């Protein structure tokens, strides 16, 4: 179990580097469409480098494998925690539960998300670098009842909390300590709340930019891309 926890912690920190950049670019939507585009393109130089991208894929695979094994042995882990806390509900248990739920949400969505935003663009577009926030904004019009921005808000908030709590937990595990029974520091909760607000506001802003930003230069490319994905 300890080995699996360390595997999960190390792989999570590696993937967290990308996630932090990814979320930060989304935050920039609150400052303007062009600002978000420039930030995303700047970060792509880092996280779309072949070495980084292969490391990212490997870390995701290790993270999901180790956490699947931990999930299947959750009863043993819970028994150990119960023993350590004398059967009392430990401090921070609500935050831990939220962290796990966020992980479930992310695991159910991550492969579709990666395909739509990276693999699909790489395979179906003549130049994958043209995939930008204009493509994301266009899906707002394709999917009815505002379901897509709602999904992105849930996905972004889950990713933010999983990153905040997971980073604290991973550092503790890799340094030989534990966060079990310890309350989550208020500053980390504030960081998580800022992420939630920034993600929701960013998605609202992206919807607004549909009517204020000229994205006609890539309209034909986007139309064909969505048609190939079965979205019309």
CA of 76: how far to CAs of 80, 176, 232, in Å? 6, 20, 48
pLDDT reported for residue 209: 77
pLDDT reported for residue 162: 97
pLDDT reported for residue 214: 65
CA separation for the pair 83, 68 (Å, rounded): 23
CA of 205: how far to CAs of 156, 181, 215, in Å? 15, 39, 15
CA separation for the pair 161, 183 (Å, rounded): 15
Query: Whole-prediction pTM value?
Result: 0.86
pLDDT reported for residue 81: 66
pLDDT reported for residue 95: 93
Kind and range of the H or E run holding 136: helix 133-142
- Ranges of each domain in the chain: 2-228
pLDDT along the chain (232 residues), means of 10: 94 97 96 92 93 96 95 77 68 89 94 88 83 84 85 96 96 90 92 97 87 67 69 60
Q: Which residues of 186-198 are buried (b: 16+ CB within 10 A; e: fewer)?
A: eeeeeebeebeeb
Under a CB-based contact definition with an 8 Å cutoff, are residues 116 and 162 in contact?
A: no
3-class SS of residue 114: helix
Q: Is 75 exposed, middle or buried (0-12, 13-18, 19+ CB in 10 A)?
A: exposed
pLDDT reported for residue 100: 93
65: Cβ contacts below 8 Å, ≥ 6 apart: 7
The verdict on domain 2-228 having CATH code 2.60.120 is no
Under a CB-based contact definition with an 8 Å cutoff, are residues 22 and 182 in contact?
A: no
Of 41, 24, 34, the closest CA to residue 212 belongs to: 34
């Amino acid at each position: 179990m300890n080995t699996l926890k360390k595997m999960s912690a190390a792989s999570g920190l590696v993937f967290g580097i990308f996630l932090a950049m990814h979320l930060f670019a989304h935050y920039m939507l609150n400052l303007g469409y062009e600002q978000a585009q420039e930030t995303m393109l700047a970060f792509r130089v880092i996280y779309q480098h072949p070495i980084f991208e292969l490391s990212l894929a490997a870390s995701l695979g290790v993270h999901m494998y180790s956490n699947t094994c931990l999930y299947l042995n959750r009863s043993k882990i819970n028994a150990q925690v119960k023993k350590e806390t004398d059967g009392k509900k430990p401090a921070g248990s609500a935050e831990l539960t939220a962290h796990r739920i966020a992980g479930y949400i992310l695991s159910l969505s991550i492969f579709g998300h990666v395909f739509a935003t990276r693999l699909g663009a790489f395979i179906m577009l003549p130049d994958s670098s043209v995939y930008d926030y204009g493509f994301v904004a266009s899906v707002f019009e394709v999917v009815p009842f505002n379901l897509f921005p709602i999904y992105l808000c849930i996905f972004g908030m889950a990713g933010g909390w999983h990153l905040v709590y997971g980073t604290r937990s991973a550092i503790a595990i890799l340094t030989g300590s534990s966060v079990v029974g310890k309350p989550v520091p208020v500053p980390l909760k504030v960081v998580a709340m800022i992420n939630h607000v920034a993600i929701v506001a960013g998605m609202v802003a992206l919807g607004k930019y549909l009517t204020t930003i000229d994205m006609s230069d890539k309209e034909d490319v986007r139309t064909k891309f969505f048609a190939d994905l079965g979205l019309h």
